[in-house]
Amino acid sequence: MDSIIVRGGKPLSGQIRIAGAKNAALALMPATLLSDEPLTLTNAPRLSDIKTMSQLLESLGCEVTSLQDGKVIALSSHNLTSTRADYEIVRKMRASNLVLGPLLAREHQATVSLPGGCAIGARPMDIHVTALEALGAEIELRDGYLHAVARGGLNGARVPLRFASVGATENVLMAATLAKGTTSIENAAREPEIVDLARCLRAMGAQIEGEGTATITVEGVDRLSAATHRVVSDRIELGTYMLAPVIAGGEVECLGGSVDLVRAFCERLDAAGVSVTETDAGLKVARRNGRPRGVDVATEPFPGFPTDLQAQMMAMLCTAEGDSVLEERIFENRFMHAPELVRMGASIDVQGGTARVSGVERLKGAPVMATDLRASVSLILAGLAAEGETRVNRVYHLDRGYENVEDKLGAVGADIERVRES
């Protein structure tokens, strides 16, 4: 099992290119199920989750071809052979549930295992089920599988979501493209990944309005056609690497970054005394004066502060001047990185969904254990600021969401290496 070793104390300087968004690509790939014509995705991230989604689609009869060293994914679903998403694949990744809506829309049936993924609290499927039932699907849970059928096809309807779930919005958005009539998704998620999916579906011939707002309207069409689409930049990778020079010192330009993707995050960085400058190629980040200041953070659905940047922000605040409060409002059980940061000398008190951080001047390197994807990278970031050596174990989580993290940080001056163990 691989580990990553970080030796802290090295200021960073240079450029980091931001990859295509994992969470966008994982929604875009199942869109191929809506059409018997090819879908080509460019600027694709090279991650283990992408391989898992490819395996799932191939199990349904899709053709998935990786081109240009994985940066281009060519998909074709002209000959589907199955509508069953098996547990052995689905258990590896929660986004596997995104085949449910497209299969129902095109094949009028689907059998999909309940999904797995990181252990960061319950993310119930009932929102997806209720939304698809509003379009006329009949869905029953048996033996750990959702058995769904749409007799005669799906029909457009008003779909109010009780929570602005990204996954549920994506599932019903894809399903509605081939439904008869008009669908109105209310309390829709507004994340950039939703906007990116809508743009791709529109390129395929879908009729969609309102993406990026709380109400998305879809007029169903008879069929979708071929398209080529560029995956939007990964706002979570962007935010992660923006924090690296704040923690380690120095200045880094994140190529492909945009303030629009991380505006609420940038507002918190500004309050902490961090300079974020837009350039022709992306965003340049550096501390303004010495250690950053403590700030309070509350995670919210987009356009609020992203829950997927909470762990990384905590790592930065561990060495900030003063106290900070982080409130996790999206997922329960998402402070599992806190005890590992405490092993490195951080002062953190977790009470339920709130973590109170008192900044210390310096962290100490230590062996730590990654518990989930974002926790993994938060410990690597903390290692950049720590005295001595930090060894982050169980980094298989990391490879689900970050491509070549040791190469990207190493290229801007970090002392970091991956140790491959038998």
Q: Is 72 helix (H, G, I), strand (E, B) or coil?
A: strand
Among 319, 358, 315, CA closest to 338: 315
Among 332, 336, 293, CA closest to 316: 293
Asked whether residue 118 carries a pLDDT value surpassing 50, the answer given is no
Residues 133 and 85 in one domain: yes
Residues 60 and 205 in one domain: yes
pLDDT of residue 116: 56
Instruction: Out of 194, 215, 230, pick the residue that ends a domain.
Output: 230
Helix axis angle for 235-248 and 310-317, nearest 10°, is 10
Instruction: Out of 214, 230, 246, pick the residue that ends a domain.
Output: 230
Residues 41 and 165 in one domain: yes
**Average pLDDT over every residue of 209-236:** 98
Residues 11 and 52 in one domain: no
Q: Model confidence over 375-417: pLDDT tens digits?
A: 899 999 999 999 999 999 999 889 888 999 999 999 999 999 9
Print the domain residue range for 259: 3-19+233-419
pLDDT of residue 373: 85
Residues 90 and 137 in one domain: yes
Q: Is the bond preceding residue 303 a cis peptide, omega within 30 degrees?
A: yes
Residues 192 and 303 in one domain: no
Asked whether residue 228 carries a pLDDT value surpassing 90, the answer given is yes
CATH number reported for the structural domain that contains residue 287 in this entry: 3.65.10.10
Residues 143 and 246 in one domain: no
pLDDT of residue 6: 98
Beta bridge partners of 112: 85, 146
Instruction: Out of 209, 230, 251, pick the residue that ends a domain.
Output: 230
Q: Are 395 and 373 in contact (CB under 8 A)?
A: no
Residues 177 and 243 in one domain: no
Residues 61 and 111 in one domain: yes
| Phi and psi, residue 237, nearest 5° | -60, -40
The model carries a pTM of 0.93
Among 351, 376, 378, CA closest to 363: 378
Binding residues: 22-23, 94, 308, 330
Asked whether residue 115 carries a pLDDT value surpassing 90, the answer given is no
Binding residues for phosphoenolpyruvate: 22-23
For the chain, the domain total comes to 2
Of residues 62, 118, 200, 318, which has the active-site annotation? 118
Residues 260 and 346 in one domain: yes
Residues 310 and 264 in one domain: yes
Asked whether residue 101 carries a pLDDT value surpassing 70, the answer given is yes
**Average pLDDT over every residue of 83-101:** 93
Q: Is 118 annotated in the active site?
A: yes
* Interatomic CA distance for residues 235 and 238, integer angstroms: 5
Q: Is 265 helix (H, G, I), strand (E, B) or coil?
A: helix
* Interatomic CA distance for residues 341 and 326, integer angstroms: 14
Of all residues in the chain, the percent with pLDDT exceeding 70 is 98
Binding residues for UDP-N-acetyl-alpha-D-glucosamine: 94, 308, 330
Of all residues in the chain, the percent with pLDDT exceeding 90 is 88
* Interatomic CA distance for residues 405 and 397, integer angstroms: 12
Q: Are 328 and 299 in contact (CB under 8 A)?
A: yes
Question: Is the torsion defined by CA of 348, 350, 351, 355 positive or negative?
Answer: positive
pLDDT of residue 120: 34
* Interatomic CA distance for residues 166 and 22, integer angstroms: 14
Residues 222 and 292 in one domain: no
The contacts of residue 72 (CB under 8 Å, 6+ apart) are 40, 41, 42, 44, 66
